[in-house]
Chain A
Amino acid sequence: MNPIPPMIPAPVPAMSDAAFALTLGLLLLAPMAIAGVALINTGLGRSRSAAQALLGNLALIAVTVIVFAFIGASFAGSLGSKDLVLHVAGKPWSVLGLGPFLLRGLGAAAPQAQLAVLFEFLAVAMMVLLPWGSGADRWRLSAGCATAAVLAAIVFPLTAHWIWAGGWLESMGANFSLGAGFVDGGGAATVHVIGGLTALCVVWIAGPRRGKFPKEGLSTAMPGHDATYVLFGCLLALVGWLAWNAAGAILWLHAPLSAIPGTAINTLLSASGALAATFSVTRIRFGKPDASLCANGWLAGLVASSACAAFAYPVEALFVGAVAGIFTPLLVEVLELALSIDDPTGAITVHGVAGLWGLVAAGVFAPQPGQLLAQLVGIAALLGFVFPLIYLLLFLLNRLVPFRVDPDGERMGMDLHELGGGAYPEFVIHRDESYR
């Protein structure tokens, strides 16, 4: 539908005023996706942790933005100057940005570079919220903030440089004739796969919620406390995603403005296909559609569209979403029942696995030869290098700032324990025993 040209090595073509204005406007709408994810994180947790969850979303965004401004943006390298480049096999491999610290030179940078930095700020703010939902009801706020700082200072800048700012993954097209290089217009890798992998690390390190996996029988159901938050969050996320994918297509894939309506339609089709699929799967599986899993399916469709919405045909976007919508409810169940992974928001599946699927689909449906191999190399980098790196960093961080709240705090609820007051003071809060 919108075949993208091979990725152009720097310097990228100058952006027209119209494209600049449109991209800026889209980026100002993108935080709706962040708001949606924050509501979903809160709604899928328990009522006695709701205030801590929502405040945590804000606190994590604040810490992330500050750390990224001070340190991360320099390593991401979107403000130019110089990169750390290794020469292997006669090719340059840009592995890290070495831009100015504290965003010096931002005002004098090219308009496109300024938009790129704004996009990265929003992307890293979104990314740190994904594991926050997975650690709900037992992950301490201070540990969440410390994790956000580490992600914003080290992990996100590294991947953003590789994929968006002229790094070795983006340059695979020019250096190794692999399609247009690694393609990720909407942040499927930098935001969602990294966020999902971090969620898995957090769940492993913090452990499951108390009473989640009893000695006998299946795992205990701990449903989210407010389906309204969750489903309204999905609607907000749609608005943000439409803006996000369109802005990413212009910024990272250099798509013409005529490609933007198609990108938005593909995003919508992917989410719709995913919801229809999840609705059907849960209807067949449980006799009635499951609201929480349908919300997960909707989000998984949006996530999967992030990598390929800019250039897929509409029917391909629908297929990508439908596949995400089929595997999401099944994988959520497998992770919980078979693998003892307690992920209240399903971020590992919804963001991690659906993001990986979107990246593969981008390789399959991109018009350039060699694109699938470029996507697979990128996935190998995410799983084989970035994932162990995240685990190592969080493992060490857990020694300094323990992730898990003490048993009394967990029994009492994160609101009372960490904030001294609950989100719903006029209502009776359930104790663990009420779920048995």
Chain B
Amino acid sequence: MKYAGLLVMPAGFFLALAALALFPEPGPRAAFVLCGLAVEGMGLVVAVRGHMLPRGASRP
């Protein structure tokens, strides 16, 4: 879980790149870029949850 989110995030980046390369029309291009950002957002959420400490983990 800790690293899975970080591995997902580049997929969103490549979606955004694909939007530039594949779609000259502004509508589909914007939709693809937004989808890419959504994928990155999901990856970030997974990464954050994976890094959350169980309570007491830092207690000496």
Contact = CB atoms under 8 A, between A and B. Distances in A.
A340 interface: yes
A211 B58 contact: yes
Interface string A63-96: 0000000000000000000000000110100000
A399 interface: no
B interface: dominant SS: helix
Chain B CB count within 10 A is highest, among A209, A381, A432, for A381
A384 B10 contact: yes
A210 B52 CA distance: 15
Contacts, number: 94
Contacts of A341: 51
Contacts of A172: 20
Interface residues of A, number: 36
A292 to B, nearest CB: 21
Contacts of A377: 16, 19-20, 33
Contacts of B20: 89, 172, 176, 377
A343 to B, nearest CB: 13
B1 interface: no
B44 A207 contact: no
Nearest to B19: A377
Given A379-B37, A384-B36, A215 B9 contact: no
Given A379-B37, A384-B12, A88 B21 contact: yes
B53 A407 contact: no
B33 A373 contact: yes
B60 A380 contact: no
A365 interface: no
Contacts of B7: 388
A380 B35 CA distance: 10
A381 to B, nearest CB: 6
Given A176-B20, A380-B16, 16 more contacts: A207-B53, A208-B53, A215-B55, A215-B56, A215-B59, A373-B26, A373-B30, A373-B33, A377-B20, A383-B13, A383-B37, A383-B44, A385-B13, A387-B6, A387-B9, A391-B6
